[in-house]
Structure 1
């Protein structure tokens, strides 16, 4: 197999290529479960984030320890990225990241230059590395994060990656198309935002606004540029031109303008009428309407239904308060969503009477506790899913055992034991096959794999905390990673609070005790009995 040209392998025909293709589809799928989503930003975005954080540190918005931690994390992550550059480039990166960073210094200029250097040819270097068969997971994560950081929307990339899988392209063609996509310039898109009602539509509020279009003008525009859609109830709308990577990304920029209009309308008078958007966004030349980007955040708690607690409001607890705050992550505009999401975390994961929590920093402590809890939850989540997808034509040892299982804990244990024994699973979906490969790797190296997962989640949660501070103390909602923070963190925050809700409702165990149990369980993991990964929260 070592003589095979890896770039000639085709999606849909070869297991190695399939794992790459399946993970790309997972990472671009806004409805993928939390354990299969992308939790990272890319290498180049990470360097730019460090540079931006230097400015916020100089303004007193971020602490010195927050900037120092980010720089160390960037050094760790980029050091493991083989496409970030050769030994000399990484030596320069370490030199800059380990220096005292402040605005206008040579070290910040060096980081900016290195970011531009790494950005150029990043995917080309990954293409050259493919014949060395890098980890499909690591490669797919790097490529997905890079394309998302370039400004492409998840729905656009999801359709794109699914089409490549359908065409069974070779890895060489996958790279060629990815490189072409990455190198495209921004395009101009006309975006129509219809409104059902617009108070003051025939006053100076709209007449002096060049973006305003009357109901008849909106109707004509939709007929001429959007396939004359039926059932669009509107009293006028706003037409904007955005520079974006794809039409969905342009529509999402339109959604941000809707949020701003609605936010401003609440500042006029509580008795005045409020504008009401139609709910859909139209892009010139695209027949299908586009919905809000919020549908990709997915901070979900399944335990509210499984434990019959969705409508239970008899008495309020700290968990109920946190859930109310968390809901804003799914529904609010980015700034409030970030602030409320973090408030939900800190309210549960910091002990107000523990001096060590205060000494280490409330944000860092809360972020790391979420990370260990999510890492401990990860194995059971995918093992349980796989247990329902194993469907051999002829019943085997695993399927017969699963038929007798009485709980998800037992089902995940059965699947884990099968993987540990080298018994394959009969899985039809490529995403499930990729998950089975990750679980098999987990069984072979439990502590190392979970430590890596924990580090990924910790990076995401610390980013959420930094963004919260920028929103709350810097008053800004225009940072580089605000949208990507919501995209990556909302599902993880939902997963952590889902575990807390389940533990509270079934065993009356609180968040701090559950995080301690997760920490101890991971620290005591042994390769001699890796099946204990399904019991980390028991």
Structure 2
């Protein structure tokens, strides 16, 4: 579970699986959308049924939930008996899911036949689906690992369940900016913005022992979360959106500083989650011995232009531009769009096993003792 939530985990090792409840909710949502094809609903139902049967923690409601959705007809509507029954079973499973896993892990007879990695992925998928952040889960598990306290795995899952069911609290961060936007030059800044002197007083009151950051004012950001780690991640995500708006709309080149201060813990957190990540590196030009060439074809120029935009610190912009670049590479001008999806699926599948085998080989070679 630590590996599934760690930031240092290689791309092919994290959790790529949707949670059981997430799949059930998707089925419930799609069933109520007018015009959804019968074939699509049947494929989703079959996938949901297989997922429920394989999930040991869902066995208590699996027959009833599958029966209710199987008997549902599109003409019945959201107020139909079958939909209401399925929703009730879904809510019951949502409340007791981790409790069920704790009971299974506490029974030696049931525990011995479990798929270890599959169990970890199902538990982590559920906690992420319920809104907990990977950083918060990782910190909880790492703190337990480093402490002297010892408990059973069943008790640990119950503690995770308690954290997941905690009510949300409000956390406030002060986020400094490196250049003052136009509206901070006025006599009274727009709420919740603070000018440089007001932000300095705020820091002295709420976070006096943290490192000082050169700034020209900033803003107060409040988020809802279960703990400070989760709150910091939500704030970082929000800061990415605000940073994009300031970069595009401000004439003073206002930018968010590297750190932000917490009113609740008095500590400092990174203001932008992906600051300092390495940029994209391509080895294809060096392998093809064309890195030194000054002129390339129009298709390669277009790809490079899109990839340059993907170096943005905004993850959503990087994903959109990266996918556009991939489509430009794998689809010809006269080919259908689906060719790109099929080819990229082949590339991704092959890359997964190649990377996994290289990772295993490197670890084996490092740990193998040679005479």
Structure 1 residues 218 and 28: CA distance shift in structure 2, 3 A: same
1:150–1:196 Cα change, 3 Å: same
Structure 1 residues 212, 100: closer, same or farther in 2, change over 3 A?
A: same
Q: Is residue 2:189 matched to residue 1:197?
A: no
The reply to whether residue 386 of structure 1 matches residue 360 of structure 2 is yes
* 3-state SS of 1:382 partner: helix
Select the residue among 213, 224, 232 that pairs with 2:194.
213
**Count of residue pairs the alignment pairs up:** 359
Partner residue in 2 for 1:407: none
Q: Tell me, yes or no, if the aligned pair for 1:234 and 1:278 is still in contact at 8 Å.
A: yes
| Partner Cα distance (2:168, 2:285) in 1 | 43
Deviation at 1:105, TM superposition (A): 5.5
Residue 178 of structure 2 aligns to a residue in which SS? strand
Q: Check 1:287–1:93 CA distance in 2 against 1; reply closer, same or farther (3 A cut).
A: farther
The 2-side partners of 1:190 and 1:259 are apart by 17
**Partner of residue 404, structure 1:** none
| TM-score (structure 2 length as normaliser) | 0.78
Contact 1:251 1:282 in 2 (8 A): no
CA distance, structure 2, for counterparts of residue 278 and residue 150 of structure 1: 31
Q: SS of 1:45's equivalent? A: helix
User: Which consecutive residues of structure 2, in runs of 5 or more, have no partner in the other structure?
Assistant: none
Give, in angstroms, the shift of residue 177 of structure 1: 1.9
Deviation per residue, 1:300-358 (Å, 9 max, x gap): 6574698498966742565674565467667454654453344344434456645xx56
Q: Any conservation in 2 of the 1:189–1:244 contact (CA below 8 Å)?
A: yes
What per-residue deviation string (whole Å, max 9, x for no partner) do you get for residues 33-73 of structure 1?
11211112322233334455568x65x9x998777755554
Residue aligning to 2:100: 125
Q: In the TM superposition, what whole-angstrom CA distance separates every residue of 1:96-130 from its partner, at most 9, and x where no partner exists?
A: 7x754997453655554343222111011112223
Aligned to 2:8: 31
* 1:413-449, Cα deviation, whole Å (9 max, x unpaired): xxxxxxxxxxxxxxxxxxxxxxxxxxxxxxxxxxxxx
209 and 49 in structure 1: CA distance in 2 versus 1, 3 angstrom threshold: farther
Match of 1:170 among 152, 155, 161: 152
Q: Which moved more, 1:119-128 or 1:207-216?
A: 207-216
The match for 1:239 is 220
Aligned residue for 2:165? 183
How many angstroms does 1:245 deviate by? 2.4
After superposition, the Cα gap between the structure-2 partners of 1:233 and 1:298, relative to the gap in structure 1 and judged at 3 Å, is closer
Query: Does residue 256 of structure 2 align to residue 274 of structure 1?
Result: no
Q: Distance in 1 between matches of 2:328 and 2:41?
A: 23
Q: Which of 99, 110, 125 is residue 145 of structure 1 equivalent to? A: 125
Q: CA RMSD in A?
A: 4.0
Query: What is the TM-score normalised by the length of structure 1?
Result: 0.56
Higher relative contact order (CA 8 A, sep 6+): 1
Offset of residue 26 of structure 1: 1.1
Secondary structure of 2:158's counterpart equals helix
Question: Structure 1 residues 236 and 293 mapped into 2: Cα distance closer, same or farther (>3 Å)?
Answer: same
Query: What is the deviation of 1:372?
Result: 3.7
What does residue range 440-519 of structure 1 map to in structure 2 within 5 Å? none
Match of 1:44 in 2: 21
Corresponding residue for residue 370 of structure 1: 344
Larger mean CA deviation between 33-42 and 85-94 belongs to 85-94
Which residue number in structure 1 is paired with residue 320 of structure 2?
Answer: 339
Closer/same/farther in 2, CA of residues 324 and 77 from structure 1, 3 Å limit:
farther
Other structure's SS at 2:16 match: coil
Aligned residue for 2:182, secondary structure, equals coil
Cα distance between partner residues in 2 of 1:299 and 1:52: 38
Gap change, CA 1:262 and 1:382, over 3 Å in 2: closer
For residue 269 of structure 2, give the secondary structure of its aligned residue in structure 1.
coil
CA offset at residue 225 of structure 1?
2.5
Which has the larger helix fraction? Answer: 1
Partner Cα separation in structure 2 for residue 26 and residue 32 of structure 1: 6
Take 1:299 and 1:101, find their aligned partners in 2: how far apart are those partners?
A: 51
